[in-house]
């Protein structure tokens, strides 16, 4: 059967596109970071043109590798080993437990160091690298969310800084890999520290976790519903505190919660809920900081028959799903 003009044109264009793919592009693609030029084909009845669009690196480690590709250094053995070292650090990292601190770590030549760790939900992860010699060190420092398919780079530090701290808010928790690598031929000795702390501070003044008498998921109404928060008991009038920095979004009175306050923290798709308050001291739209008084402990709403306490809830929004209640104890310190 004769081939139509459109099909013939498509095949000619495909062969042209393949001829545009140099060894440099193929190597960079396999290295997982560097595609110097991407062919874009304008489609129609026949292919009319092939446009070459510059690649835009997204972070310093990727930009450095991109420069290697542009200067054809990726064909040299040290450059190949540098790319291999970067991938190996992600593929086979050292498992660590948090908090983690190690001094005198060393990376040199084409090697990279990887650290794998798990973070519980509701934690802020802080990473700090300092030069063991007290001088600024040229290092590429990148944090990835681990995946069985492809790790996602989510944070990092700028190279050349004597102190390289950064943090992420791991609302959902998960598995992470930290990678540290110097440029080709460089050597670096450094100290590394990784910590995970709770995202929220305790929301009632003068008491701690021992004042939580009713936990998340406890049965209510004879098992017809579950408790979507924790109850923190304290004397009537005890100040209720902002658990983090953020905005007050709602201040209202409801049948179940009585006097309630909703907060939107600065991080993630999270909402914080305070219920059964005796008094409310803020207004919608107020910006508050962690530890700032919002109101007072009470027993309004359906808690009228119980001793004064704060019902404290944490909700995480998820696309396409309603609810999102989480155990606040996971978020508190």
pLDDT higher than 70, residue 218? no
Q: Give the mean pLDDT of 144-167.
A: 84
Provide the pLDDT for residue 78: 83
Q: Is the pLDDT of residue 6 over 60?
A: no
Assess whether pLDDT exceeds 50 at residue 151: yes
Distance CA 255, CA 301 (A): 5
**Cα–Cα dist 254/75, whole Å:** 68
Residue 328 has what pLDDT? 93
Higher pLDDT, 92 or 1: 92
What average pLDDT is seen over the chain?
A: 81
Q: Name the E strands within 146-269.
A: 152-157, 163-170, 174-181, 187-198, 212-214, 219-220, 225-226, 230-233, 239-241, 246-254, 258-265
Instruction: Answer yes or no: do 100 and 168 share one domain.
Output: yes
Q: φ, ψ for residue 46 (rounded to 5)?
A: -135, 155
Find the farthest-apart pair of alpha carbons in the chain and give their distance in angstroms, rounded.
Answer: 89
Residue 160 has pLDDT above 70, yes or no: no
Return the higher-pLDDT residue of 116 and 80. Answer: 116
Quick one: pLDDT at residue 35? Answer: 38
Which tens digits make up the pLDDT trace of 58-76?
888 888 888 877 776 656 7
The angle subtended at Cα 242 by Cα 238 and Cα 244, nearest 5°, is: 150
Residue where the block lists tokens 């017809």: 224
Average pLDDT over residues 304-322: 86
- Range(s) of the domain holding residue 141: 89-198
Peptide bond into 99 cis (omega under 30): yes
**Strands 174-181 and 113-119, sheet pairing:** antiparallel
Q: DSSP string of 76-117?
A: SHHHHHHHHHHHHHHHSPEE--SSEEEEEEEEETT--EEEEE
Cα–Cα distance measured from residue 131 to residue 191, given in angstroms and rounded to the nearest whole number: 6
Q: Residue 29: its pLDDT value, please?
A: 39
Cα–Cα dist 200/121, whole Å? 12
Q: Is 36 part of a structural domain of the chain?
A: yes
> What is the per-residue pLDDT across 182-209, written as a single tens digit (0 to 9) for each?
988 888 889 999 999 999 999 999 999 8
Whether residue 148 is predicted with pLDDT greater than 60 in this model: the reply is yes
Over pLDDT 70: what percentage of the chain?
74
pLDDT at residue 227, as a whole number = 66
What is the helix (H) or strand (E) element at residue 128, kind and residue range? Answer: strand 123-131
User: What token pair was written down for 10?
Assistant: 């498509």
**Dist CA 266 CA 262 (whole Å):** 13
Q: What is the pLDDT of residue 222?
A: 52
* Confidence band of 163 (pLDDT split at 50, 70, 90): low
Name the pTM for this structure: 0.75
Q: Domain for residue 203, yes or no? A: no
pLDDT of residue 25: 40
Average pLDDT over residues 34-60: 52
Residue 272 lies in a domain: yes
User: The domain that contains 99 carries what CATH number?
Assistant: 2.60.120.380
φ, ψ of residue 12 to 5 degrees: the values are -60, -40
- Which of 179, 198, 217 is at the close of a domain? 198
Task: Count how many domains the chain has.
Answer: 3
Instruction: Say if CB 256 and CB 221 are below 8 A apart.
Output: no
pLDDT for 322: 60
DSSP state of 19: H
Judge whether 254 lies within some domain: yes
* Highest mean pLDDT, choosing among 36-45, 60-69, 310-319: 310-319
Is residue 1 predicted with pLDDT exceeding 70?
no
CATH of residue 266's domain is: 2.70.70.10
82 is a domain residue: no
Looking at the structure, tell me whether residues 220 and 247 fall in a common domain.
yes
Among 26-35, 56-65, 171-180, the range of highest mean pLDDT: 171-180
Tell me how far apart the alpha carbons of residues 214 and 313 are, in angstroms, rounded to a whole number: 12
255 in the same domain as 228? yes
Q: Are residues 244 and 267 in the same domain?
A: yes
């Amino acid at each position: 059967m004769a081939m139509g003009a459109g099909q013939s044109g498509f095949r000619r264009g495909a062969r042209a596109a393949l001829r545009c793919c140099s060894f440099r592009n193929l190597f960079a693609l396999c290295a997982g970071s560097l595609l110097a030029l991407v062919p874009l084909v304008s489609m129609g009845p026949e292919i009319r043109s092939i446009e070459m669009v510059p690649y835009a690196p997204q972070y310093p480690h990727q930009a450095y590798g991109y420069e290697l590709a542009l200067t054809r250094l990726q064909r040299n053995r040290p450059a190949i080993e540098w790319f291999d070292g970067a991938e190996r650090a992600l593929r086979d990292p050292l498992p660590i437990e948090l908090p983690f601190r190690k001094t005198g770590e060393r990376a040199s030549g084409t090697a990279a160091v990887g650290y794998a760790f798990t973070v519980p939900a509701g934690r802020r992860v802080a990473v700090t690298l300092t030069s063991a010699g007290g001088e600024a060190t040229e290092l590429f420092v990148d944090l990835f969310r681990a995946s069985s398919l492809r790790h996602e780079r989510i944070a990092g530090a700028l190279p050349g800084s004597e102190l390289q701290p950064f943090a992420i808010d791991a609302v959902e928790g998960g598995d992470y890999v930290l990678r540290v690598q110097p440029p080709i031929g460089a050597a670096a000795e450094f100290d590394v520290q990784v910590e995970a702390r709770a995202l929220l501070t305790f929301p009632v003044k003068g008491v701690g976790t021992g004042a939580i008498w009713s936990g998340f998921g406890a049965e209510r109404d004879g098992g017809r519903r579950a408790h979507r928060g924790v109850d923190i008991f304290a004397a009537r009038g005890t100040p209720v505190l902002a658990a983090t920095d953020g905005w007050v979004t709602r201040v209202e009175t409801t049948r179940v919660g009585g006097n309630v306050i909703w907060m939107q923290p600065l991080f993630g798709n999270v909402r914080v809920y305070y219920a059964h308050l005796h008094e409310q001291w803020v207004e919608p739209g107020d910006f508050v900081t962690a530890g700032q008084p919002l109101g007072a402990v009470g027993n309004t709403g359906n808690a009228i028959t119980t001793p004064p306490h704060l019902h404290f809830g944490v909700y995480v929004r998820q696309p396409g799903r309603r609810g999102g209640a989480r155990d606040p104890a996971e978020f508190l310190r």
